[in-house]
Amino acid sequence: MYKTHIFGKPTIIVCKPELCRQVLTDEAKFIPGYPTTMKTLFGKKSLHAVTKEEHRKLRRLITTPISSHAALEMYIDHIERTVISGLEEWSSMEKPLELLTTIKQLTFKVIWNIFMGSTPIKSTSIREMETFNDDIVLGFFTMPINFPGFSFHKALLARKGLHEILQSILDEKRMVKKSKGENWEAKDMMDLLMEVRDEDGEGFDDETITEMIFSMLFGGQETSAFTSMWAVLFLTDNPHIFQKAKEEQEDIIKRRASTQTGVSLSEIKQMKFLSQVIDETLGLSSIAFATFREATVDAEING
pLDDT at 228 (0 to 100): 94
The number of distinct structural domains making up the chain is 1
Dump pLDDT digits (tens) for 74-128.
889 889 999 999 999 999 999 999 999 999 989 988 988 888 877 777 766 778 8
Q: Tell whether 302 is covered by a domain.
A: no
pLDDT at 175 (0 to 100): 93
Grouped pLDDT means (10 residues each) for the chain, 303 residues: 87 93 92 86 78 79 83 88 93 92 91 82 77 89 91 95 92 92 90 90 91 83 91 97 97 93 92 96 85 91 86
Residue 217 sits in which domain range? 2-295
Q: Tell whether 35 is covered by a domain.
A: yes
- Measured CA to CA, the distance from residue 107 to residue 85 in angstroms comes to 12
Q: Tell whether 303 is covered by a domain.
A: no
Q: Tell whether 51 is covered by a domain.
A: yes
Q: Tell whether 301 is covered by a domain.
A: no
pLDDT at 198 (0 to 100): 86
Asked whether 112 and 126 are in contact (CB, 8 A), the reply is yes
Q: Tell whether 139 is covered by a domain.
A: yes
pLDDT at 77 (0 to 100): 87
Q: Assign residue 302 a region: left if phi > 0, alpha if psi is -120 to 50, beta otherwise?
A: left
CA distances from 51 to 32, 41, 46, 55, 92 (A): 9, 17, 10, 6, 49
pLDDT at 68 (0 to 100): 84
- Nearest C-alpha neighbor of 210 from the set 188, 186, 193: 193
Q: Tell whether 218 is covered by a domain.
A: yes
We report the CATH number of the domain holding residue 185 as 1.10.630.10
For the chain, report the end-to-end CA distance as a whole number of angstroms.
Answer: 11
Q: Tell whether 172 is covered by a domain.
A: yes
pLDDT at 129 (0 to 100): 86
